[in-house]
Amino acid sequence: KEGLLRVSFFQTRHLERPDLKTQFGRKAAACGMVFKGTDWRAVYSGDLASPQELSVPAKGCDLLIHEMAHTSPEAVAEFATSAKIPHVLITHIGAGFDQSPGKIADVFSKYYSGDLIVAEDGTRVQLSKIRKNKTILAQPEPVSPVKISADHRQAAALSAVFLNTLQQDFFLPSGTAGQILQAAESLLQPVLAAKTVQPGQVRITLNRLDSPSGAENGKIDVTLTLDAGSQDTAIKSQGGPTALRRKRIIRLYHEAQQQGGVLTQEDLARLLNASVRTIRRDLTALSAAGYPVKTLGQMK
């Protein structure tokens, strides 16, 4: 039927290494995926031993989504060129490129002339344009004309932080975390309504700037601005989600310090609903641009 998406799987040799067989067991298997739309075909490598494993699954594909934790940029770029794949999206970036993903593009430019996208949190692609445009990277979403009240934005920000904490720190499934959030909102709504924070702000407990050891008596409550309203909207419109997130990191850092608190990378990840890995990349980029942000781990 028109619009039907077909998904199939293929096994890779990633777990055939003796050390991984011991770790995961003999019945464990690593797999890649093939997605087939009405007029396009995409392949996700999964973890593998070599890009050459994709010779058959990736033949004639329009988009190759490839991991960069167990393979090198050179190997993937050379394979994509030999297989004549027009679009490559790099994800699952390993420690070697975690702090400098731009190096992946530098290496690719020597071997590959197609459309390369190095993914980060929030990256979107437009599969409907896979054979029409030179790049399928989606532009930042336009600002919605629907007006959302400041109180609603604040509630949404608090809910996002709470959900992220339940899932990341307590390893709860999203459905269970959502049910807990609903119960908490019902029970704590009167308490939250009584808080004196301004719209778009949250109240959070941090380590004290003058005592960053993590001891209980070294804690302090601070008020931080998650959503600055029209100012944030303008930044996102001009620079996209990444620019907005980095601007918020700078703001949160200064507000915390002004109130005698210091943020951890995990604090920033929870507040901004991002991964710690993404926060680390942002901190590296900000430092290179002349905006050093020191988190708790860097101050010990």
In 129-255, where do the E strands start and end? 201-208, 219-225
pLDDT in tens, 49-90: 999 999 999 999 999 999 998 899 999 999 999 999 999 999
Confidence (pLDDT) at 160: 81
CA distance 103 to 41: 27
In 69-132, where do the E strands start and end? 87-93, 115-118
**Is residue 199 pLDDT above 60, yes or no?**
yes
Burial of 11 (0-12, 13-18, 19+ CB in 10 A): middle
| Amino acid found at 198 | Q
Confidence (pLDDT) at 169: 78
Rounded (to 5) percent helix, strand, coil in the chain: 45, 20, 35
CA distance 60 to 53: 15
CA nearest to 294, candidates 261, 255, 262: 262
Chain length of the chain: 300
Confidence (pLDDT) at 25: 67
The token duo for 239 is 């620079």
Confidence (pLDDT) at 194: 46
**Is residue 276 pLDDT above 80, yes or no?**
yes
Decide which of 181 and 217 is more confident: 181
Buried b (16+ CB within 10 A) or exposed e, 58-92: beebbbbbbbbebbbbeebbbbbeebebbbbbbbb
Q: Where are the domains of the chain?
A: 6-129, 150-299
**Is residue 1 pLDDT above 50, yes or no?**
no
Confidence (pLDDT) at 143: 43
**Is residue 203 pLDDT above 80, yes or no?**
yes
Decide which of 247 and 132 is more confident: 247
Task: Tell me the sheet residues that pair with 219.
Answer: 207
Confidence (pLDDT) at 2: 47
Decide which of 156 and 245 is more confident: 245
CA nearest to 71, candidates 87, 55, 94, 54: 94
Percent of residues, the chain, with pLDDT higher than 90:
39
The mean pLDDT of the chain is 83
DSSP helix/strand/coil, 37: coil
Q: How confident is the model at residue 35 (pLDDT cuts 50, 70, 90)?
A: very high
pTM of the model: 0.52
**Is residue 103 pLDDT above 70, yes or no?**
yes
**Candidate ranges 6-20, 181-195, 244-258; pick with highest mean pLDDT:** 244-258
**Is residue 191 pLDDT above 60, yes or no?**
no
Q: What residues have CB less than 8 Å from 244, skipping those under 6 apart?
A: 232, 235, 236
Confidence (pLDDT) at 24: 67
What is the CATH architecture assignment of 6-129? 4-Layer Sandwich (3.60)
The token duo for 220 is 């302090």
Taking residues 95-105, report their average pLDDT.
Answer: 78
Residue-wise DSSP of 259-278: TTEE--HHHHHHHHT--HHH
Q: How confident is the model at residue 280 (pLDDT cuts 50, 70, 90)?
A: very high
Taking residues 285-296, report their average pLDDT.
Answer: 88
